[in-house]
Amino acid sequence: MWRVFSRYFFPFILISAYIFLYLPIVILIIFSFNANEFTFSWSQFTVRWYHELFASVEVWSALKNSLIVASTSVMLSITMAILLVFYSGRRYRKKIPLFFYGNIAVPEIVLAIGMLSFFSFFSIPIGLPTLIAGHTLIGLGYVMPIIYARYSELDKRFTEASLDLGATLTQTLYRVILPMLFPALIASALLVFIVSFDDFVIAFFCAGASAQTLPLFIFSMIRMGASPVVSALSVILLCMSSLFVLASSSVHIKKMVMPR
């Protein structure tokens, strides 16, 4: 009885989970080619929404803002995390990551309202700089634990040997520490970029009307109902992310099968 149950029930649960995850994506792709503006009713095949998407100046402006904010947040958060971990004293190094765990534990809406109150109190106009500051604060909550954990695993004899051979702390950082931290830096950069690019709550409170990001643009388009242009934009983003995943996977596979 248990063998029959495990043979059919667990595969059924697994298939149902995959259908639940990927069926909405399939429907999204299909209805992005629907000629009817009301996407719940199919009429005929068209690529009109893709033409409107690529001809929209607002979409490209929002995409540019999102890329600028995400890239700058990645650079700032990683740079600050490296400096804090490497140049802090041994007495305080273990305590530094504790200050950034709250960025993940505290609800994002609380951080957004707190930052908006901070900017309002000091009369700081909200825009791209404040949005970058907010995303950098969020990014530090992800970057600090990763970089600190990897830095703690490094053999300290490399640092000591570099200093004994006459290198300065800065030279040791650039020529010894950073190459060994490279995998952690790449993982942190990708994670912060995805979080920043996809963030809506911080952008809604800290961006203002002058700095519209892609999530804010999509939100403004779907307030009156689902738009086929949004579906087309989602398909383009899905294709870009899928190509990135395939490229990274192919590189990883080639490294595994490459003879040494």
pLDDT digits (tens, 9 = 90+) for 192-211: 998 898 888 998 888 877 78
Range 57-233 classified under CATH 1.10.10.10: no
Per residue, the 3-state secondary structure of 192-260, as one string, reads HHHHHHHCCHHHHHHCCCCCCCHHHHHHHHHCCCCCHHHHHHHHHHHHHHHHHHHHHHHHHHHHHHCCC
pLDDT greater at residue 253 or residue 129: 129
Angle between helices 57-87 and 128-153 (to 10 degrees): 40
Q: Output the six-digit token pair for 194.
A: 């995805």
pTM of the entire structure?
0.81
Predicted pLDDT of residue 78: 93
CB proximity list for 159: less than 8 A, separation 6 or greater: 172, 176, 177
d(CA 195, CA 210): 21
Task: Return the domain boundaries, the chain.
Answer: 57-233
Predicted pLDDT of residue 74: 93
pLDDT digits (tens, 9 = 90+) for 52-108: 888 888 888 888 999 999 999 999 999 998 888 887 766 666 777 777 777 778 888
Predicted pLDDT of residue 68: 92
Predicted pLDDT of residue 255: 46
pLDDT digits (tens, 9 = 90+) for 148-175: 888 888 888 888 888 888 888 888 888 8
